[in-house]
Amino acid sequence: MHEYDRRYPIMARGRTPQPKVINDLKGDPHERRRHEKEPEPPKNRSECPAYLDDIAPADWAYTCDRLDEIGLLSSADRSYIEFNCHSYSRYRKADAMVAKFGEVLVPRKQSPRISRHIRQ
């Protein structure tokens, strides 16, 4: 054993602590020491960015309403909500293209291939 290993033994750290809000939602069956001085994220609601397409604002409102109902909405989550709405919008557009053209494209003089809308 190396001298460094004897001075600083490696020990298991345990589970990563959950935020207080998550513990409150799950219900904490044990009387544990609580982290009462946990910083509070800002609770204001962000506006939907204007550069998102026409499908994303409806999903933005839906996602923000659901997160606000359970007390998890924060303006710090703006980029995550934006990514979620953008991804959902792309999914809806790709799904519409697959419904229009089909899952498999059959060109005239080539073998069948999978639609590019599915491969994304």
pLDDT tens over the chain, length 120 residues: 555 566 666 666 777 777 777 777 777 666 666 667 777 778 788 888 999 999 999 999 999 999 988 888 888 889 999 999 999 999 999 899 888 877 776 666 777 666 666 655
Torsions phi, psi of 16, nearest 5?
A: -70, 130
Sequence ranges of the domains in the chain: 3-29+38-119
- For residue 82, give both structure tokens: 């934006």
Decide if 83 contacts 77 (C-beta within 8 A): no
The structure's pTM equals: 0.64
Cα-Cα end-to-end distance for the chain: 51
